[in-house]
Amino acid sequence: MKLIIDTDPGIDDALAIAYAALHPDIELLGLTTVFGNVTTAQATRNALYLSELMGLSIPVAAGAVKPMKLPPFAPKTRVHGPEGLGDLPAPSPFAKAHDMTAAQFLCDMAALYPGELVVCPIGPITNIADALKMDPAFAQNVDKIVFMGGALDVRGNVTPYAEANAFHDPHALDAVLSSGANVTMVGLDVTLQVLLNDQDFTDLANKKNGIGVFLKDLGRFYLDFYQSIGLNGCGLHDPMAVIAALYPALFKMETLSIEVKLEGEESGQTCRSQSKERPTCRVSLDCDAHALRSEFFKVFDN
Ligand code: RIB
Ligand code: CA
């Protein structure tokens, strides 16, 4: 599977990138970066650093620095850390960002591999909305867009209504969901069914692949935040979007029209649309949590 991950790394983003880098059936063609857990500049720097750490030599293309219509916002550093990688100080990767913008890179790669390229947005989906605006053929060229975001029948995690990625750019998500592209939603309805705990991160550090030691420290920071809000584990949010792209059979999905609230207290809420004109997408409503958990950990034995 030819894949581009659009990311705001971010601790669970790092887990998703590691999973993709290690999976034998994934050809990770590049990373595109976006604001969200961190600023876009930090996301780009972190993506370059994570690529080098994982032995990847792939383009990292910097993307949007603010939401489509909402004003820019300051990242909440208590969730992913001041530099986005837990307690880690600002890393200094050797490589530089790609000379294209994220949207241009996405459009070019989708045109280069028509019907083959899979895109996994795991931050605010602004870059994908920009690519759809930039190239009308993008929606048809891309095989599928499998994004981490939204919360349909469960509470949000930023407000009672909205999941973080949807909350941070509801207009972009609305544009992607109404584009007619082949879109799959992997939201909190399923990602909160797989929680990683302290023992999981200890096990990760003991895996054959040394990256687990690095991820354990990040995971512990992320876990502290979740425990501070009363959850005894951190959601496997971003890796589940990549796993859903590879193994959709591990999810119970329905074909629904989804709309996004764009203003007020419920801004960022994703809900079923009654409109007959609105395109549909695949929505993950349930999952085989046990199989997903073992699928995630399996690659670290490679
Ligand atoms: O709600 C979880 C999502 O928001 C994840 O993508 C996490 O990295 C944050 O971006
Ligand atoms: Ca993310």
Q: What is the CATH number of the domain that holds 232?
A: 3.90.245.10
| Residue 126 beta carbon below 6 angstroms from any ligand 1 atom | no
Q: Which residues pair with 146 in a beta bridge?
A: 184
For residue 190, give the nearest of 76, 119, 293, 267 by alpha carbon.
293
- Number of domains forming the structure of the chain: 1
Instruction: Give the Å distance between the CA of 8 and the centre of ligand 1.
Output: 8
The per-residue pLDDT for 190 is 98
Residue whose CA is closest, atom 1 of ligand 1?
164
Q: Is the pLDDT of residue 69 over 90?
A: yes
Ligand 1: does its nearest atom lie under 6 Å from the Cβ of 8?
Answer: yes
pLDDT classification of 99: cutoffs 50, 70, 90 = very high
- Judge if the beta carbon of residue 13 lies within 6 A of ligand 1: yes
* Alpha-carbon torsion, ordered 153, 155, 156, 158, to 10 deg: 180
Written as six digits, the tokens of 225 are 């935040």
**Which CA distances in Å does 19 have to 15, 54, 172?**
6, 10, 26
- Please tell me the distance between residue 149's alpha carbon and the centre of ligand 2 in angstroms: 9
Q: Which of 23, 80, 168, 237 is catalytic?
A: 237
Which residues constitute the domain of residue 209?
Answer: 2-301
Q: Which atom of ligand 1 is nearest to the CA of 158?
A: 1
Q: Is 237 among the residues known to form the active site?
A: yes
The per-residue pLDDT for 110 is 98
**Which residues lie closer than 8 Å to 112 by C-beta, 6 or more apart?**
none
Q: Is the pLDDT of residue 209 over 90?
A: no
For residue 188, the ligand 1 atom closest to its alpha carbon is 1
d(CA 7, ligand 2 centre) in Å: 6
Q: What is the pLDDT of residue 45?
A: 98
Q: Is 237 near ligand 1, meaning CB less than 6 Å away?
A: yes
Q: Distance of CA 152 to CAs 158, 168, 233, 283, 286, Å?
A: 14, 16, 21, 9, 11
Q: For residue 148, which atom of ligand 1 is closest to its CA? A: 6
pTM to 2 decimal places: 0.98
Nearest one of 78, 87, 86, 70 to 35, comparing CA atoms = 70
pLDDT tens for residues 220-252?
Answer: 999 999 999 999 899 999 999 999 999 999 999
Q: How far apart are CA 170 and CA 262, in angstroms?
A: 6
Q: How far apart are CA 117 and CA 126, in angstroms?
A: 18
In short, whether 46's Cβ falls inside 6 Å of ligand 1 is: no
Residue in the structure block whose two tokens are 């530099």: 83
**pLDDT value at position 302?**
78
- The predicted-structure confidence for 153-169, as pLDDT tens digits, reads as follows 999 999 999 999 999 99
Mutate to test the pocket of ligand 1, among 11, 158, 165 (most ligand atoms within 8 A of CB): 165
- pLDDT score, position 74: 94
Asked if residue 200 has its Cβ within 6 Å of ligand 1, the reply is no
189 lines ligand 1 (CB under 6 A): no
Active site (annotated) includes residue 290: no
CA of 260 to the centre of ligand 1 (A): 17
Place of tokens 């930039």: 134
Residue 266 — pLDDT band, cuts 50, 70, 90?
A: very high
Please compute, for residue 51, the number of CA atoms within 13 A of its CA located in the half-sphere on the CB side. 28
Q: What percent of the chain has pLDDT over 90?
A: 97
Rounded mean pLDDT of 242-265? 98
**What is the band of 210 on the pLDDT scale with cuts at 50, 70, 90?**
confident
Q: What is the secondary structure of 101-166 as a DSSP string?
A: -HHHHHHHHHHHSTTTEEEEE-S-THHHHHHHHH-TTHHHHSSEEEEE---SSS--SSSSS--HHH
Confidence band for 217, pLDDT divided at 50, 70 and 90: very high
The ligand 1 atom at the shortest distance from the C-alpha of residue 13 is 8
Q: Hey, which of 237, 240, 242, 269 would you mutate to test ligand 1's pocket, going by the most ligand atoms within 8 Å of its Cβ?
A: 237
| Residue 93 φ/ψ, nearest 5 degrees | -65, 155
